[in-house]
Amino acid sequence: MKKAVLAAIFALAMIFTLSCGNGEGAAEGGSGGTETSELTGENHAAGGPDAKTETLAQSNGAGSGGSDEATGPYAAFESLDLDGEPASGDIFAGRKLTMVNVWGTRCPYCIMEMPDLAKLHSDYAEQGFGVLGIVSNVVSLDGESIEPDNLDAAREIVEATGAIYPNIVLTESVFRLFVADVGALPTTFFIDGDGNRVGKTYLGARSYDEWAKIIEALLEELG
C-alpha cells in the first residue's frame, strides 16, 4: 500500500516538472511566468570544477535570529541533498526566514532565476535569511531510487547557476508538506525559524529586486 502511494505522489511530481505552466490555484504569479518547454541534457551548461555549494551543516549555522529548534509543522521532513547527505527541518532553525523554491531540471524559468536566488541567499544571510531548493524530478517514480541522469542534470544546473544554497530531493514527507499542492514550476513560499509557513505562495520566476522586496517585508514582519 505504501509503495503504491509513493508511486502515485512521485508520478504527480514528475507531471508537475514536465508541464510547468498550469497556474491554477496559485496565490500570486510572477513576472517571469512558467514554461511548458523542456531543457534537455544538451541544454544544460556545464559547471566548472571549482563551483562550490553550501552544505546543510554550513547552512544551519549561517545567519542570525533563527530558533534553537524548529518544531512547527513544516519542519517535520527528512530528505537528502544532491550529494546524498541527510537533510531535515533543522535547516529552518538556523535561520529567521527560509525561501523554499520548488524547481525541476526541465523548467527553463526555474533555472533562469537561480543565479538571483543564490545572490539573495548570500546578500541576506546576515539577516537570518536563506534559500532551500527542492528538486522535483530526481527521485524515481516508485520512490525507491535516484534517477542518475536527472541527478547529474541537477548538479550541473546548480554549478552553472552558482546556486550554492542547499537543494534536496523529494521524499514522501517533502512531497506531503511542500509539493502536494504545487501545480506548476517554479513555486516559491517561505518558512520561519520555527517551521511555520509565512506570507504567500508565489508562482513563477521573479527578478532579484522583486524577491528582495518580498524578503525584506517578511523579515521586518518577523522582527
Checking if the pLDDT of 92 tops 80, the result is yes
Domains in the chain: ranges and CATH? 2-222 (3.40.30.10)
* Model pLDDT for residues 133-157, shown as the tens digit of each residue: 999 999 977 777 889 999 999 999 9
Q: Are 78 and 169 in contact (CB under 8 A)?
A: no
Q: What percent of the chain has pLDDT over 70?
A: 69
Question: How far apart are the C-alpha atoms of 223 and 217, rounded to whole Å?
Answer: 10
**For 2-57, how does the pLDDT look when each residue is reduced to its tens digit (9 = 90+)?**
454 344 444 444 444 444 543 333 456 665 555 432 322 222 222 332 333 344 44
Q: Are residues 174 and 77 in contact, defined by beta-carbon separation less than 8 angstroms?
A: yes
Return the closest-CA partner of residue 186 out of 149, 122, 137: 137
pTM above 0.85?
A: no
Q: Which three cell numbers stand for residue 79?
A: 530528505
* CB-based contacts of 3-6 (< 8 A; 24+ apart in sequence): 3/142, 3/143, 3/144, 5/172, 6/142, 6/143, 6/144, 6/172
Percent helix / strand / coil, the chain, rounded to 5: 40, 20, 40
Across residues 54-77, what is the average pLDDT? 64
